[in-house]
Every structure is written in C-alpha cells, then in structure tokens.
C-alpha cells in the first residue's frame, strides 16, 4: 500500500512486508523495510538525532535479528548512499569475500562436477562476512550517532526476543533438515528441532552479546578479539578454512555508482561486483531505441525479454569482481554498444540463446535477501540490499557468537561445465580466488526526474535485476507515479540461460502465453510469486513522501 503526507507537519511512515502501514505525524522519517520492527528501529534513530545513514545501521542490525533467514551480520550487502549536503553519491561494497585458503578444487569432484553441498551447507560454504565492517564504516564516515546508540534496538530485541511471523515459520520448515544438522542452529531457531510456528518467541542472547561488542569496539568487536577467535575455532573445527588474517584484512570498498540517463530520468545503481547496474543500463539503453509501450503490448514485452536476454548474456561473459578481472564497463554502458546489441532483435521472433556468444556455466545467487529504502528530512537517502544467499544460509551458527554464517561460496562459478542449483550462467571471471568477491545481482537504485526521487530495490536472486527494471519502467510510464503499481506489478524474467521466460502465476493469461510461444519463446509459469520490493518516493512538487512495500511479503 502507499501513504502520502505533507512534510509541513513532519511525518513518520512505517511500512512492512504485509502491506500495512502505521503513521504518526509527530515524527519524521520515510523508511520502507521488510519488517515492522526494523522500520521502527530506524525511525527511532531518526527521532533521536540520527540521519539516514544512522538509520541504515539500525535497520540492518534489526533485520539481522528479526529476519535471520534473509540477512545477518554473518552475511554481506550493498549500500547506495546519497548525502545531500555535498551531493555525494557513493556505493558501499560490503560483499563477502573468499577466504585466503580457498581452493577451487575443493568444491569439485574427480569427474570435474561441482560439489554443491559443500558450497551450500556448513562452514565450508561461508565466505568472510562484510556486514559488521559496513555498520562501522557507515557510522564513522556518514552517521551522526555512535554505534552504541544505533545498535541498541537490535541488541535489546535479540536479548528479549520477539514473536516470529509466518515468513519465519515457512523458512524454518524449508530448511529444517539442514538446521538440525548443527545443534547451535537448531537450538536457537527451531522449536524442539521442529518448525517454529507463528508466535514462537525467538531469543538470540549470544547474538545480542556479539552486537554489543560491535557497538563498543566497532569492527574490531567482530574481526578481532574473542568473537574472531571463536569464529575461527568453530569454523575450522567443523571443516572450514578461515584464518585470523581473513578477518583482520576484510574491508568495505567505496565504489563509484553506475549512472544512466533514460527517458528524462537519472538512474543511479550498483556497480561491480554487482552486475545489477550494468545489466539495468544495457537493457534500458536497448529499449530506448524503440518507441514501443513496453508494459502494455505483446511486442513491447517481447522486446523487453530480448533486451534482458542480451543483458544477462553479457553478465555471463564479461562480469566479475573488478579488483580481480578486467571488465569492459565503458563499453557495456555505451549507447552505441546497446544499439549494436539490439540491432538483431526481431519483433516477430525470439532469439535463441544458443545462437548468442556462449559461456559454459556459472551460478545464480539464492533468493534469501532483503532490501530497505530510506530518505530522511535532510534529503539524505539510502538504498540497501543485503544477502545471506539461501534460506538460513549455511545453516551453521559459529560457536557461541550467535552468528549464522552465509553460504555465498556458492555464488562463485564452481566449475566451467555445471551450473549450481539455480542455473544462471557465467564464466571463469567469477571463479573462486582467495580474497575475491562473488558476482551479485543485488541492485539498490535511485531514480530521479523532475517529479521526484525514487529509492528502489528488492530481494530475489538473479531476478532482482529484472524486477528493478520493471519497477523503473512502471515509474516512468505514468505522469503521476503510482508506487503501489510499482511494487505489485506482475513480473516476468529472462536471464539468457535457461532459455525461457519465467512468469508469476498471476497476471499472464493463456492468450499472452500463446502469443509469446508463437514468437518462439518457452514460457514457464512459476508456482509462486517472487520478490519483496521496498520503495520510498520524495515528491519534489508537493514536498511529500510516499512509501510502498511489496504485497508478496509477510504471509505470502
């Protein structure tokens, strides 16, 4: 749902993933996140003198407590920032990175096939987390408040506990078997080794203590001292290969965002190691040469699919961690390159992916990710997408730290001849190397035009990019932006390989499917909807905020 209120009276807009909102005109903030408690934590920080970046710290940490299946301090993420006072825009890369002792051959059997279970479950699947470093970096370089203040809501919530919701319950059901393989994990997150039903009280006292150490000592509270020692002891005693140096050397990286002008709007998005900004730019650049209404015609949607096919093809061929591999960024962003890439699109016939420049394999990210959007009263804004990979990630809680570790080693290309469990393709540029960060699709973005400023993003694995593209197109097609339409619009997706259009079970009728199939497309109807988009909009004309969250969220 959406809400609008004048800034004259100041406002608080709370949104969460079950399409409900609360308001209180005596406060001031505009935050959209996937959980009410996280949004409340961020707004509390803004009430007490914090800015959008302080609120981002609070929301991140609280989501780690209330959505442990989607994000956490044992994972990583990306933060796109705009600081209004000097018009600074910067991308904070807090993506996990491969341990120094990583060996690509460890994840491959004698027949050259990927041993996916080693990269999905347990400590061998965990890359070095980036979120704790990001919390410290945001606080020191951009915030107004100390970590003691911004982490307080999460610390207290982890200690006291809260009643879990239907999304949490469903997540425990889906990952129950793996979680029961690790006693620390099952003790914390399951109810007597069984699925935790809605209303179950989740307490995480060890996580609360770890967050308290980060609040007191900053990054050193995680990457040094007792927490670091326990992380290494626990990981390595269970078959992993972390070192003290891995933790000591981890740093967030500030990168230049991707910029694109499209149909009168300035779009700012995520650079490598996210593939999001580059693919978004390429798809939109291809579409710009065509006058078709993308959203309301079969030819337009066919064109969109063909543009996605080409963008994801280039993702697979060219993209990886820019600190390790050369990526032709300028070429991929150029209008002339997009024009050339789109020149062979036939509006009557689908291109076969097998006829395009080929790669052999890669992996797709898992879908368990979260996104939040913030604009404060000063005009500062944050789009943040955080991930752990699959549901409840590795399933492994490291010792007495309370930290549930990611399984992002599975985001690397484990072999050159077999995809992982999700099927996105790529090449050696995304292979495992010590200290390297795996390619991602997370796409936190800003869209600014004469009407206002949209902050947008979503979870959803490789489908994140196509969802953000659809959201941008929906925003730009209307004279008066309708955020509810942006977050609720039925979604389609094509990622080059597998060569198919995936569509949600609602919004695409038999006639639409038949028309696409007549053009040569294979259409696969998903069993469930995907994504959990969170958007905030500042209206330049009226001076009002609007927020909207995805109806696919809580309970869906």
Give kind and range of the element (H or E) at residue 487.
helix 483-488
369 an active-site residue? yes
Please tell me the distance from the alpha carbon of residue 53 to that of residue 62, in angstroms, as a whole number. 14
Q: Tell whether the torsion through CA atoms of 420, 425, 427 and 430 is positive or negative.
A: negative
Query: What's the pLDDT at 365?
Result: 55
Query: What's the pLDDT at 3?
Result: 45
Please tell me the distance from the alpha carbon of residue 311 to that of residue 302, in angstroms, as a whole number. 14
Written as tens digits, the pLDDT of the chain (556 aa) is: 444 433 322 334 444 333 333 333 334 569 999 999 999 999 999 999 999 999 999 999 999 999 999 999 999 999 999 999 999 999 999 999 999 999 988 988 888 888 888 888 999 999 999 999 999 999 999 999 999 999 999 999 999 999 999 999 999 998 998 899 999 999 999 999 999 999 999 999 999 999 999 999 999 999 999 999 999 999 999 999 999 999 999 999 999 999 999 999 999 999 999 999 999 999 999 999 887 777 668 899 999 999 999 999 999 999 999 999 999 999 999 999 999 999 999 999 999 999 998 765 445 555 668 999 999 999 999 999 999 877 888 899 999 999 999 999 989 988 764 554 455 555 789 999 999 999 999 999 999 999 999 999 999 999 999 999 999 999 999 899 999 999 999 999 999 999 999 999 999 999 999 999 999 999 999 999 999 999 999 999 999 999 999 999 852 2
Instruction: Note whether 142 and 199 are within 8 A (CB).
Output: no
Parallel, antiparallel or unpaired: strands 88-94 and 445-448: unpaired
Query: What's the pLDDT at 414?
Result: 84
Given 369, 370, 391, 535, the catalytic residue: 369
Instruction: Note whether 277 and 271 are within 8 A (CB).
Output: yes
Q: Which residues of 331-342 are buried (b: 16+ CB within 10 A; e: fewer)?
A: ebbeeebbeebb
How many Cα atoms within 13 Å fall on the side-chain side of residue 225?
A: 12
Q: Where are the alpha helices (DSSP H) in 182-250?
A: 183-189, 205-217, 220-223, 225-237, 244-249
Please tell me the distance from the alpha carbon of residue 356 to that of residue 353, in angstroms, as a whole number. 5
Please tell me the distance from the alpha carbon of residue 250 to that of residue 93, in angstroms, as a whole number. 11
Structural domains of the chain, ranges and CATH numbers in brackets? 29-161+203-296+318-326+358-486+532-555 (3.60.20.40)
Each residue of 35-77: pLDDT tens digit? Answer: 999 999 999 999 999 999 999 999 999 999 999 999 999 999 9
Q: Which residues of 45-75 are buried (b: 16+ CB within 10 A; e: fewer)?
A: bbeeebbbbbbbbbbbbbbbbbbbbbbbbbb
């Amino acid at each position: 749902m959406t809400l609008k209120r004048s800034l004259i009276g100041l406002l608080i807009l709370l949104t969460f993933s079950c399409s409900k909102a609360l308001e209180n005109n005596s406060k001031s903030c505009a935050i959209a996140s996937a959980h009410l408690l996280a949004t409340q934590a961020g707004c509390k920080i803004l009430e007490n003198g914090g800015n959008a970046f302080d609120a981002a710290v609070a929301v991140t940490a609280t989501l780690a407590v209330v959505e442990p299946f989607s994000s956490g301090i044992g994972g990583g993420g990306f933060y796109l920032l705009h600081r209004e006072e000097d018009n600074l825009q910067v991308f904070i890369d807090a993506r996990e990175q491969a341990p120094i002792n990583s060996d690509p051959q460890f994840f491959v059997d004698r027949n050259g096939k990927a041993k996916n279970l080693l990269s999905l479950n347990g400590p061998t699947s965990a890359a070095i987390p980036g979120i704790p470093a990001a919390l410290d970096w945001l606080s020191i370089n951009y915030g107004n408040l100390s970590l003691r203040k911004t982490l307080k809501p999460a610390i207290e919530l982890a200690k006291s506990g809260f009643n879990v919701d239907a999304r949490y319950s469903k997540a425990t059901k889906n990952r129950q078997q793996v979680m029961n393989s690790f006693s620390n994990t099952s003790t914390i997150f399951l109810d007597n080794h069984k699925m935790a039903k809605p209303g179950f009280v989740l307490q995480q006292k060890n996580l609360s203590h770890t967050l308290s150490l980060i609040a007191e000592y900053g990054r050193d509270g995680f990457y040094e001292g007792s927490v670091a020692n326990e992380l290494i002891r626990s990981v390595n005693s269970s078959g992993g290969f972390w070192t003290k140096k891995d933790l000591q050397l981890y740093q967030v990286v500030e990168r230049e965002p991707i910029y694109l002008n499209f149909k009168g709007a300035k779009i700012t998005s995520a650079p490598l190691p996210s593939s999001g900004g580059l693919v978004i730019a390429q798809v939109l650049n291809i579409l710009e040469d065509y006058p078709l209404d993308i959203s309301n015609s079969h030819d337009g949607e066919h064109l969109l699919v063909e543009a996605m096919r080409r963008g994801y093809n280039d993702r697979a061929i060219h993209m990886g961690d820019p600190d390790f591999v050369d990526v032709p960024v300028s070429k991929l962003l150029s209008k002339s390159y997009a024009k050339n890439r789109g020149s062979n699109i036939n509006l009557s016939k689908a291109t076969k992916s097998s006829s395009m420049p080929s790669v052999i394999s890669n992996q797709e990210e898992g879908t368990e990710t979260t996104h939040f959007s913030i604009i404060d009263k000063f005009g500062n804004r944050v789009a943040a997408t955080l991930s752990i990979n699959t549901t409840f990630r590795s399933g492994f809680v490291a010792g007495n730290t309370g930290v549930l570790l990611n399984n992002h080693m599975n985001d690397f290309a484990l072999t050159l001849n077999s995809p992982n469990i999700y099927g996105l393709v790529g090449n050696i540029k995304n292979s495992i190397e010590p200290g390297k960060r795996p390619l991602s699709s997370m796409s936190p973005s800003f869209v600014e035009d004469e009407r206002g400023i949209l902050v947008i993003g979503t979870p959803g694995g490789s489908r994140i990019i196509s969802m953000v593209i659809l959201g941008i197109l929906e925003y730009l097609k209307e004279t008066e932006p309708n955020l509810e339409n942006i977050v609720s619009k039925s979604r389609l997706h094509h990622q080059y390989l597998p060569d198919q259009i995936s569509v949600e079970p609602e919004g695409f009728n038999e006639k639409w499917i038949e028309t696409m199939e007549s053009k040569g497309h294979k259409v696969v109807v998903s069993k469930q909807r995907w994504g959990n988009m969170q958007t905030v909009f500042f209206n330049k004309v009226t001076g009002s905020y609007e927020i909207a969250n995805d109806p696919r969220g809580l309970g869906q």
